[in-house]
Amino acid sequence: MSRSVIIQGMNGDELAGRCELLRSLHVPGTPLVLPNAWDAATARAVVDAGFPVVATTSAGVAASLGYEDHQDAPAAEMLAAAARISGAVDVPVTVDAEAGYGMDPGELVDALREAGAAGCNLEDTDHAAGELRDHEQHASWLGAVREAAAAAGYGLVVNARIDVFLAAFHSGSEVSQDELVDAALERATAYAESGVDSVYPIALWEADPLRRFISAAPAPVNVLKVPPGPSIAELAGLGAARISWGGLLHRGSMEHFAGVLGSLVDDG
């Protein structure tokens, strides 16, 4: 496929420009702030508010399609939603592609390119097995994604999500976040060596462990902005290069909607 081919309403040079812009905005200490969207309307709202990039949330997109998160939704539907979002805005879109939907690297890269994605999140949880993937095997897979993108002349920005802290949270483990930093850094190092652009230790929110992780990380760091954690300014001071909300804005919006509906019932 030549770079001049039209991809979801944009040509290959335009997509290349979006990839380059997205990559350039990952600056430690001056983080790219990404309120996550879940459809074309929320993506346009993000752009209208002045944000330079749109990030999607798999939880929000899946919910809007009638599915649960964690690859319960068909890949084709998730990627079609991503294409509608990227086609609705004139800024780079980074797509939460979960764990890759079981696609081989070349197939995944082709699908993201067709959707007009400038970047993607790829997580290291094996949802079928309900556990973390072996980090060396996952690094090899990420490297194959990078190679496939390079072979296609596609500057896809890959954000490697590290699920060590999230897995501990879901399991109810009493292991502290500080105790998990070394394991997360081992994964971050392997993924950076495979060619990813940034690493994302999702659910790491405590200031001291975050400082340890960011100071030793081999690539720019994406931090999930959770209510108990540091402010945006404080995360910038820690050296974060990217801040996102995952599914939290979608959840908050739905809670607000449910509250409005409840008030209508009460009025009736």
Domains and CATH numbers, the chain: 6-267 (3.20.20.60)
What is the mean pLDDT of the segment spanning 38-51?
Answer: 98
Is a pLDDT exceeding 90 seen at residue 198?
Answer: yes
Is a pLDDT exceeding 60 seen at residue 240?
Answer: yes
Position 97 confidence tier, pLDDT thresholds 50, 70, 90: very high
Is a pLDDT exceeding 60 seen at residue 178?
Answer: yes
Position 2 confidence tier, pLDDT thresholds 50, 70, 90: very low
The type of residue at 62 is A
Q: Give the SS3 label for residue 219.
A: coil
At residue 4, the pLDDT reads: 35
Q: What is the rounded radius of gyration, in angstroms, for the C-alpha atoms of the chain?
A: 18
Is a pLDDT exceeding 60 seen at residue 5?
Answer: no
The contacts of residue 200 (CB under 8 Å, 6+ apart) are 121, 159, 160, 161, 162, 221, 222, 223, 224, 242, 244
User: What percentage of the chain has pLDDT greater than the value 90?
Assistant: 94
Is a pLDDT exceeding 80 seen at residue 154?
Answer: yes
Is a pLDDT exceeding 80 seen at residue 8?
Answer: no
